[in-house]
Amino acid sequence: MTTDTATEARFVTRDLPYAYDALAPHISEETMRYHHDKHYTGYVAKLNELALDTPFAQQPLEDIVVSSDGALFNNAAQAWNHEFFFDTLSPAPQSVPTGKLAEAVDKYFGSFENFKAEMSKAGTALFGSGWVWLVEDKAGRLAVMSEQNAGNPLRYGMKPLMCFDVWEHAYYIDYRNRRADAIAALWNVIDWKTVGERYEKR
C-alpha cells in the first residue's frame, strides 16, 4: 500500500453503461440524470478534494473504502457504491440467476422468490438512507446485509454481489415516499448475468 501523496485529482466519474432513459419506465431519465450527474458526481468531486495531498491519494478506490473513515470514507464509499449499483442495472437484463449462483441462492434462501422477499423487506425496513446488499462471506455463504448511509460490506471482508440504493435521491422523483414501489421496480432492471459473473469471479 503506497503512502505517496498526489497533488492532482485522480478519481473521475464513470459514464453510465446505458442511456439515461434506458431504464424507463422503472427508473426515469430525470432520476438517472440527477442520480448520476449530481449525486454520484458530487461524491467523486468531494473524494478528490478530501484525498488530495494525503496518503490515500494514490490508493485504489476499494482500498480507501476499506481503510478510511469519516468524510473521506463516506465519499469514497458512495462513489464505489454508485458505480457498483449502476453497473448492476441493465435495460435488457437477465431476469433470474442461473448456474452456480442460482444454486447458491436456492441453498441459502430456499428459492429466488424467498431471496427477493428478504431483500425487498430489508430495503423497505432500513431506517433512513443506506444500501441493502447481497453478499458472499469468506466461507461462501450468501446473505442479505443492510447498511446505513455509505455502508459497504467490503469493510467486513464480504464480497458484494448486488445492491439496492435506498437513499431518497435514488427514487424520490419517480416514487416520492413509496420506497417499496421503487424497490419492486428495481427487480425489473437487475441484470443477473452481471451478478453471476461477480459471484463466479475469484
Query: Distance from first CA to last CA of the chain, Å, rounded?
Result: 21
Pairing of strands 159-165, 142-148: unpaired
46 has pLDDT over 80: yes
> What would the grid cell of residue 142 be?
450468501
* pTM for the model: 0.95
pLDDT tens-digit map of 66-97: 999 999 999 999 999 999 999 999 999 999 99
pLDDT value of position 10: 87
1 has pLDDT over 80: no
Distance CA 124, CA 121 (A): 5
Contact present, 21 and 32 (Cβ < 8 Å): yes
* Spatial CB neighbours of 54, under 8 Å, sequence gap ≥ 6: 5, 72
In angstroms, the Cα distances linking 129 to 24, 47, 147 are 23, 19, 9
**Residue in 93, 102, 112 with CA at minimum distance from that of residue 189:** 93
In angstroms, the Cα distances linking 153 to 121, 150, 171 are 19, 10, 22
The torsion angle over the Cα atoms of residues 53, 12, 159 and 54, rounded to 10 degrees, is: 0
**Residue in 162, 128, 170, 168 with CA at minimum distance from that of residue 145:** 162
Specify the DSSP element, H or E, that contains 163: strand 159-165
Strand segments, DSSP code E, in 24-129 are none
pLDDT mean across residues, the chain:
95
Residue-range domains of the chain with CATH: 29-88 (1.10.287.990), 99-200 (3.55.40.20)
Peptide bond into 91 cis (omega under 30): no
pLDDT tens-digit map of 146-187: 999 999 999 999 999 999 999 999 999 999 999 999 999 999
Distance CA 98, CA 15 (A): 28
Distance of CA 93 to the CA centre of its chain: 17
Q: Which residue has the cell 459473473?
A: 197
